[in-house]
Structure 1
Amino acid sequence: MFIVSIDEDLCSGCNSCTEGCPAHLLGFSEDKAHVVGDESECMGCESCTSVCPTEAISISEM
C-alpha cells in the first residue's frame, strides 16, 4: 500500500497530476491538488510525481 502526500504550498494548481494518475486518485479543490479517490488503489507508479513541475507530490510505501 502506498501513501500519496501533496505539499499544498508547492502545488501550483496546474492539474498535470490528475491527468497523469492512471488510478484517478487526485482531484482539485480551491486550485490545489488533493487525494479524492481510495488511496489503497494507488499502484505506486509515480506517474503523478513525474508530471508535477513543482515536485509537490511524493509517494511512500506504507
Structure 2
Amino acid sequence: MFQITIDYDKCAADQECINACPAQVYEVGDDGKPVIERPEDCLGCETCVEVCPQGAITVEEI
C-alpha cells in the first residue's frame, strides 16, 4: 500500500497528475486541485510525481 501526499501550497491545479495516473486515484476538487479519492488503488508507479512540475506530490510505501 502507498501513501500519497499533496502539498497544496505548491499545487498549481494544472491537473497533470489526474490525467497521468494509470490507476485513476485522483478526482478534480472544487478548486481544480487533485483530491485523492482512491488511495487504495495506487500502484506506486510515481507517474504523478514525475509529471508534477511543482514537485507537489510524494508517494511512499507504507
- TM-score normalized by structure 2? 0.91
CA displacement, residues 4-62 of structure 1 (integer Å, 9 cap, x when unaligned): 1001000000010001100000122112211012x111110000000000000000110
Percent identity of paired positions between Structure 1 and Structure 2: 36
Structure 2 partner of 1:32: 33
Number of aligned residue pairs: 61
- Whole-angstrom distance in 1 between the partners of 2:3 and 2:24: 14
Runs of 4+ in structure 1 over 6 Å off: none
Match of 2:8 in 1: 8
Letter in 2 for 1:61: E
Aligned-residue CA RMSD in angstroms?
A: 0.8
Q: Which runs of 5+ in 2 are unaligned?
A: none
Q: Secondary structure at the match of 1:23?
A: coil
Q: Which segments of 5 or more consecutive residues in structure 1 lack a partner in the other structure? A: none
